[in-house]
Amino acid sequence: MTAKRALTVLAAASAAAALTVTATTTSTAAPARAAACGAGYVGLTFDDGPSGTTTKLLDALRQNGLRATMFNQGQYAAANPSLVRAQVAAGMWVANHSYTHPHLTRLSQAQIDSEISRTQQAIANAGGGTPKLFRPPYGETNATVKSVAARYSLTEIIWHVDSQDWNGASTDAIVQSVARLTNGQIILMHDWPANTLAAVPRIAQTLATRGLCAGTISPQTGRAVAP
């Protein structure tokens, strides 16, 4: 065999070995992912941003391999468009949480429409896309709120578990709240509490221990599903 022929054979063997490694890696990645999420998916949600703490929250979520739905207030999205873009860049999903966070059930239909429509526009203008999900402030809703949301093709999302972070819940209590989640369920958290930020690494650990992954929220079912 000539030296040139030997080199050709060696190159072909190396290429075949590389293909085998690639195929093996690809074939095992999906089952590994499925095993990690064997118990299903849950929806992590953070209300009231974007704010001065958003960047730290996004960093913590990203460092711990978590994705979440950010229910933004329109007034803050309009004032901080770069933070809305940062949410998207970090792999989060951006949703509508009204413009000024009022008690919508106390407003007229026209006022409700203004709260929802202005937020849709503010988020879109900021680079967050057109939201498909809507969370009424305080979880307060009625037939009028639902009908206005539907006009903008928004699915109303409340929650299954309230972390109580808005009410001064400790980091331990927030983590314990996450531990109550089951497949498809959604937890309410907020963009601004320091205890919530501190809880993020332990939230990731808790979900991993229970075989749950952080998923997206389906506009069709209103439940957490695989991204």
Contact present, 181 and 161 (Cβ < 8 Å):
yes
Query: What's the token pair of residue 92?
Result: 């989060």
- How far is it, in rounded angstroms, from Cα 184 to Cα 214? 10
Residue 188 DSSP one-character state: E
Query: What's the token pair of residue 207?
Result: 């979900």
User: Active-site positions?
Assistant: 47, 190
What are the distances in angstroms from CA 7 to CA 4, 14, 19?
Answer: 5, 11, 18
Query: What's the token pair of residue 65?
Result: 């391999």
Identify the residue whose tokens are 């006022």: 111
**Residues linked to residue 94 through DSSP beta bridges, in sequence order:** 70
**Residues linked to residue 188 through DSSP beta bridges, in sequence order:** 45, 162
